[in-house]
Every structure is written in C-alpha cells, then in structure tokens.
Structure 1
Amino acid sequence: MEKYFLIISLFAIATTTILLLIQVLFIKWTDKLFNINKINKPENKKEDEKK
C-alpha cells in the first residue's frame, strides 16, 4: 500500500514538471510568433529620462 503513495507522488511531481515546461515553451513560442519584445530595455529608460 505504501508503494502506491510513492508512485502517485512521483507521478504528480513528474506531471507538474512537464506541464510547467510546456507552459514556458509555449510562452517563448508565442513571443517569437507575435514579435513581443521585453518591456524593460535600456533604450526605453534613456528616452524616459529625457522627457
């Protein structure tokens, strides 16, 4: 009975890790697809200081 608790917990950890990896890869893919640039750029800070 105790071995099932170990198997279920390992399966839950593996599933969570895989889903997190898929989420990160999907975000990176959509950033490339829609050409989303990072908001915090050094150039933007310099322009804000001039204003």
Structure 2
Amino acid sequence: MEKPPYKRIWYACPYCGKRLFIYDNTALVKGVYIKCKGCNKEIKVQIKVH
C-alpha cells in the first residue's frame, strides 16, 4: 500500500489573508471554528482530503 504524498499547507484567513495554521494533505477537518487574530472575524474551517 502506497503512502499519500506528504505536503504541508498554510490555511489563510479568507477575509484578510493572514496565515492561521499549517495542515498536511492527509488532514480532514469539519465543524471547527477559529478566530483570526488579524481581522477578529470567526472562520469556519473545512478541509477535505482529495
């Protein structure tokens, strides 16, 4: 069984573009909310595996 390629990606705020956190290409995130320290808006994070 082959391992998926490992790649680290920055998740950026869709409003101001500030980098919030790093995730890899094997991440699956659903139903998580984070507050941006740049613009103080709440962002719903959804990361799907391709």
Q: Same fold by TM-score, threshold 0.5 exceeded?
A: no
Q: Structure 1-normalised TM-score?
A: 0.22
Instruction: Say which one has the larger Rg.
Output: 1
Q: Structure 2-normalised TM-score?
A: 0.22
Which one has more relative contact order, counting CA pairs under 8 Å at least 6 apart? 2
Richer in helix (by share):
1
Richer in strand (by share):
2
